[in-house]
């Protein structure tokens, strides 16, 4: 039986500073100071908001070193613990990805991590054989039309959803990240929190329509879009002034998320992946 349509709500769980690229190469201890316990403190109110709905958290690994209770709380609440990267920065070479997997192997094993989301949703085709070697079942690291699923090197790719205006795109090779080319190709990346920041009502309606068509959208949010960091404007003003496209990521999506939770059937990505794989005997 094919899995019932549902919304897959995912949270790329990273500190507030991940939005800026300015801190990527600081020593870890300085990033920890910058976080000021934001990632530790945001988890309880987020878990509370989810009530009994189960979703996927793609965690940045260094947060699990700083706050070991963070993955434990997510796991104990019955959500999927996925992997976003060990340290948040672009990972687009085999050597960098492999190094990131090595550094995260221990905690990923502890929490039975099977899902991967590339930072900035930007990756390379060479990712997929590495995923298989590192015990992943699936990745959600491309943008592609709702309902797309791809088998690459014995690993599944369940992309972050787009709405295609001119039919299904032909090339589904990595990278398919947020670029003008993606937009000009006629794909609206409605599942990005950039879009739910600008057009929450429209995005809600697209999700509703896709579900009615029997499709299952995969969308993402960030913790700092649900729980506002203290002194948020002051922390991020310089980055937004320099890169105005960051602005939608600074807007609160707390009400949007509440509306989604109230309105739609929701599951983690791994539950949907497992149901999809078992539904098709060819797999």
CA distance 209 to 200: 14
CB of 67 to Zn ion, least distance (A): 17
CB of 85 to Zn ion, least distance (A): 7
Distances in whole angstroms, Cα of residue 63 to Cα of each of 58, 72, 202, 228: 11, 12, 33, 18
Phi and psi at 277, nearest 5°, equal -65, -45
Distances in whole angstroms, Cα of residue 9 to Cα of each of 6, 42, 224, 265: 9, 17, 15, 10
Interface with Zn ion (CB under 5 A), residue total 3
Told to check if 210 binds Zn ion by CB under 5 A, we report no
Angle at 227 between CA 70 and CA 142, to 5 degrees: 75
Closer residue to Zn ion (CB): 90 or 169: 90
Told to check if 62 binds Zn ion by CB under 5 A, we report no
Closer residue to Zn ion (CB): 119 or 145: 119
Bridge partners (DSSP) listed for residue 220: 10
CB of 18 to Zn ion, least distance (A): 5
Q: Which of 12, 80, 100, 210 binds Zn ion (CB under 5 A)?
A: 12
Which residue of the chain is nearest Zn ion when measured via CB?
12
Sequence-ordered list of residues with C-beta below 8 angstroms from that of 267, at least 6 positions apart, any chain: 6, 8, 54, 55
What is the per-residue binding string for Zn ion in 108-127, x denoting contact by CB under 5 A?
Answer: -----------x--------
Query: Which region, judged by CB under 5 A, interacts with Zn ion, from 9-17, 131-139, 145-153, 262-270?
Result: 9-17
3-state class (DSSP) for residue 152: strand
3-state class (DSSP) for residue 194: helix
Told to check if 100 binds Zn ion by CB under 5 A, we report no
CB of 88 to Zn ion, least distance (A): 6
Closer residue to Zn ion (CB): 82 or 119: 119
Told to check if 80 binds Zn ion by CB under 5 A, we report no
Residue ranges in contact with Zn ion by CB under 5 A? 12, 14, 119
């Amino acid at each position: 039986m094919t899995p019932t349509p549902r919304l897959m709500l995912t949270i790329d769980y990273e500190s507030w500073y991940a939005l800026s690229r300015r801190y990527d190469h600081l020593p870890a201890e300085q990033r920890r100071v910058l976080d000021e316990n934001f990632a530790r403190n945001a988890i309880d109110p987020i878990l509370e908001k989810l009530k009994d709905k189960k979703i996927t958290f793609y965690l940045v690994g260094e947060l699990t070193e700083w706050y070991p209770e963070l993955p434990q709380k997510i796991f104990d609440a019955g959500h999927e613990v996925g992997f976003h990267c060990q340290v948040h920065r672009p990972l687009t070479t085999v050597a960098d990805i492999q190094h990131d997997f090595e550094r995260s192997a221990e905690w990923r094993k502890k929490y039975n991590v099977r899902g991967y989301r590339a930072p900035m949703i930007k990756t390379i085709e060479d990712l997929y054989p590495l995923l298989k070697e590192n015990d992943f079942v699936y990745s959600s690291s491309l943008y592609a039309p709702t309902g797309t699923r791809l088998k690459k090197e014995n690993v599944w790719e369940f992309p972050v959803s787009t709405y295609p205006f001119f039919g299904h795109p032909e090339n589904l090779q990595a990278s398919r990240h947020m670029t003008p080319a993606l937009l000009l190709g006629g794909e609206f990346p409605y599942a990005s929190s950039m879009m739910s920041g600008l057009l929450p009502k429209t995005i809600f309606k697209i999700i509703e329509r896709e579900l009615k068509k029997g499709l299952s959208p995969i969308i993402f949010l960030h913790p700092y879009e649900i729980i506002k960091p203290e002194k948020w404007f002051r922390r991020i003003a310089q980055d937004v002034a320099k890169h105005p496209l960051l602005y939608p990521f600074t807007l609160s999506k707390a009400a949007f998320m509440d509306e989604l939770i109230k309105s739609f059937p929701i599951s983690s990505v791994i539950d949907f992946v497992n149901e999809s794989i078992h539904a098709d005997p060819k797999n």
